[in-house]
Amino acid sequence: MMKLTEELSTRGDVSISLKYEDGRHIPFFEKKNLIVNGAKLILRNSIYISSSTNYIATLKVGKGGTIDPQGLVPKIEDATQTGLITPLTVPVSVPVTSIPGAGAPSDFSVTFLADVDNSQGNGELITEVGLFTTSGSLFSIKNHPAITKTSAFSIHYEWKIRVL
């Protein structure tokens, strides 16, 4: 059994695609993400404290994830981050759906799905995304090249987190 003082090994993958009203589903971005330091405490609590109710509940997007104004070069994520770098002026926070890992008993993973719909974030240059817990703590963060959001499409996020 793992000791409380041992580090949990976690990793995640973020996949972003654009969904158009005509049914097109175009992949945009897929990379590893950063599990922030505060997330390790959340994971430990969920494993060792059965009454823990601090779970991942929302996905939020922002516009502070690149080093250039055009949004072409993502910033490197910081493990000590506690929130988005620059949340949108009109915040976009959408609920996530979680799907537990399937297959082998050793598959300790969960996939989170969320969509920023056609009415949200329009006119914004979206460059960062984060998963947040019910208490508002940042769990995981990913900066990415800019998506100029319009009402022509929704942004679909698929975020798989594994505890190894």
User: Does the pLDDT at position 68 exceed 70?
Assistant: yes
Q: Is residue 3 part of a domain?
A: no
Please report the pLDDT score of residue 107 as a whole number: 60
Mean pLDDT for the chain overall? 83
For residues 163 and 43, what is the distance between their CA atoms, to the nearest angstrom? Answer: 9
pTM, rounded to two decimals: 0.81
pLDDT for 77 beyond 70: yes
11 compared with 125, residue with greater pLDDT: 125
Res 104: pLDDT: 56
Long-range contact set of residues 98-102: C-beta below 8 Å, sequence gap at least 24: 98/56, 101/162
How many domains would you assign to the chain?
Answer: 1
* Residue at 1 is within a domain: no
**Residue 4 lies inside a defined structural domain of this protein:** no
In a domain, 103, yes or no: yes
111 located within any domain: yes
Does residue 98 belong to any structural domain of this protein?
A: yes
Burial of 24 by CB count in 10 Å (0-12 exposed, 13-18 middle, 19+ buried)? Answer: exposed
Residue 1's pLDDT is what? 40
* Domain contains 2: no
What range does the domain containing 53 cover? Answer: 11-163
Q: Measure the CA–CA gap between 148 and 73, rounded to whole angstroms.
A: 14
